[in-house]
């Protein structure tokens, strides 16, 4: 079943690359008492994700945080090494936390998987953006097709 507005995030860890190597990250812990914008992409280094989705959140990160957001995070069903390299390639810096859902466990737990096998990608995440308030989903924007209509940084900024 797909996560809905009002639902609490599942207790499934993601992974972040640190100086010491891959580190498990709990979104429940990260979002406790905080406002978090989490957006997901089907794949690092893919065209729309690299040219529009991630760059939009980097460019608008200051404005988003000025609206009371404590953390902006990007998740993808890619390994943490790829997420780190993609973040470096896109000059993410401290603006967006790059999180790996390498096995797709978080994506499956929230019911937002997509079948990308027709493109050689296997099971991936649908493109979406959500606003999380103290561990609960307050806004959920899931793209219904290709492109970037409802999950962009501009749309999220309007909803804060």
φ and ψ of 112, to 5 deg: -120, 35
Phi, psi (5° rounding) for residue 73?
A: -135, 145
Active site residue 74: no
73, two tokens:
């995070």
CB within 8 Å of 94: residues ≥ 6 apart: none
Q: How many CB atoms sit inside 10 A of residue 23's CB?
A: 13
Which phi and psi angles does 26 have, rounded to 5°?
-95, 120
Pairing, β 35-41 against β 13-18? unpaired
List 36, 38, 41, 49, catalytic entry: 49
Half-sphere exposure of 43 (CA within 13 A, CB side): 14
Q: Which residues are catalytic?
A: 49
């Amino acid at each position: 079943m797909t996560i809905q507005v009002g639902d609490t995030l599942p207790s499934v860890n993601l992974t972040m690359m640190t100086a010491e190597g891959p580190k498990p990250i709990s979104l429940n812990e990260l979002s406790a008492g905080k406002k978090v914008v989490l957006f997901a992409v089907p794949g690092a280094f893919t065209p729309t994700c690299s040219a529009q989705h991630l760059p939009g959140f980097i460019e608008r990160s200051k404005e988003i945080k000025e609206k009371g957001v404590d953390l902006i995070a990007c998740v993808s069903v890619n390994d943490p090494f790829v997420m780190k390299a993609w973040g470096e390639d896109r000059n993410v810096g401290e603006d967006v936390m790059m999180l790996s859902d390498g096995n797709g466990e978080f994506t499956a737990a929230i019911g937002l998987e997509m079948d990308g096998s027709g493109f050689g990608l296997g099971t991936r995440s649908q493109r979406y953006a959500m606003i999380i308030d103290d561990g609960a989903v307050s806004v959920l924007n899931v793209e219904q097709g290709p492109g970037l209509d409802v999950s962009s940084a501009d749309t999220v900024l309007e909803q804060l």
